[in-house]
Amino acid sequence: MSRRTVHPAVRIGAALLLGVPIVFVIVNSLRSQRAPTSPRMEEMREIAEIDAERKAQKRDAELVRRLIEEDLDERRFRFGTVMFAASGKRVLPLDPDRAAHRRVLDAIDDSLARATEILGREDSPVREHRRINEVSRHFEDALRLDLNAADGLSCDIPTTRDGDRQRSGYPDLRVVDEATGTVFYLDPKLVENGSWDSSFRTFYFEPKDENLKINDDAVHLLVGIGHDGNNRAWSFGPWKLVDLSTLTLRLKPEFQASNRDLYPAAP
């Protein structure tokens, strides 16, 4: 078999072509190591950073001015408007004349009668708690179990958009009338008798996508459950059921900082 002879010039050209990328990398590496940043380039970089910071501050200042001009402390927002803006879901008005609504209202009333009686007993587990705020979950659990056992109803903890069941945040319970598929969100609150007209904040809603639990067009109900304030020997009742479709909310804008923000170098 004959061997094909490669001209020397071709060999040299191929070697040069293969070596060019390596030489290019080496030269660039040496150049980057040897070429210091000039004072002028450093000055331009600092000017660019200052300019970017000033633009960001200007945008923030414009936003703060717009918020102040809105006079948000004095404005009221319909509950349904806030829910629709946050979730895209409608707040349906309660209509006791509709059969599904009447069924759910009657079931809630019956469940509350049983829950307040059982949880107000001397051997009630709620008396192990020192604060009334810790008692709320017992009512949530009692209502959930009782309503879930009622004929034609289901009741559970609402899920987030990701399908996770989450106890914290509004609302606490999701009730479904199985005959019609109508959804009712139910949020129980404990209220000390004599403070029904208190001006302190007792209801709030944070519209955050990651923990939003409103996934249905639904009737939104809040039940205030009275208690006598007798610490660790509470008795409960009466209660008041509220149709939140008629509620208006305030927005409290505030600028805040934590101790971590205030004292970053604290020992």
Read off the pLDDT of residues 115-138 as tens digits, 9 standing for 90 and up: 999 999 999 999 999 999 999 999
Residue 128 lies in a domain: yes
138 alpha-carbon distance from chain centroid = 23
Residue 47 lies in a domain: no
User: 135-138 long-range contacts, Cβ below 8 Å, gap at least 24?
Assistant: 135/190, 135/227, 135/234, 136/188, 136/189, 136/190, 137/167
133's CB contacts (< 8 A; 6+ apart) are: 190
Cα–Cα–Cα angle for 114, 120, 123, rounded to 5 degrees: 110
User: What is the distance between the alpha carbons of residues 10 and 24, in angstroms, rounded to a whole number?
Assistant: 22
Residue 8 lies in a domain: no
How buried is 82 (Cβ within 10 angstroms: 0-12 exposed, 13-18 middle, 19+ buried)?
A: middle
Question: pLDDT in tens for each of the 267 residues of the chain?
Answer: 444 554 554 454 444 444 444 544 444 554 555 555 688 888 888 888 888 889 989 999 998 888 888 888 888 999 999 999 999 999 999 999 999 999 999 999 999 999 999 999 999 999 999 999 999 999 999 999 999 999 999 999 999 988 888 888 999 999 999 999 999 999 999 999 999 999 888 898 988 888 899 999 999 999 999 999 999 999 999 999 999 999 999 988 888 899 889 898 766
Residue 137 lies in a domain: yes
Query: How many residues belong to the chain?
Result: 267
Residue 67 lies in a domain: no
Residue 36 lies in a domain: no
Residue 127 lies in a domain: yes
161's CB contacts (< 8 A; 6+ apart) are: 209, 210, 212, 215
Q: Model pTM greater than 0.85?
A: no
User: What is the distance between the alpha carbons of residues 147 and 163, in angstroms, rounded to a whole number?
Assistant: 22
Residue 7 lies in a domain: no
Q: In terms of Cα–Cα distance, which of 237, 137, 235, 113 is closest to 188?
A: 137
Q: How many domains does the chain have?
A: 1
Give the residue numbers spanning the domain of 122: 77-249
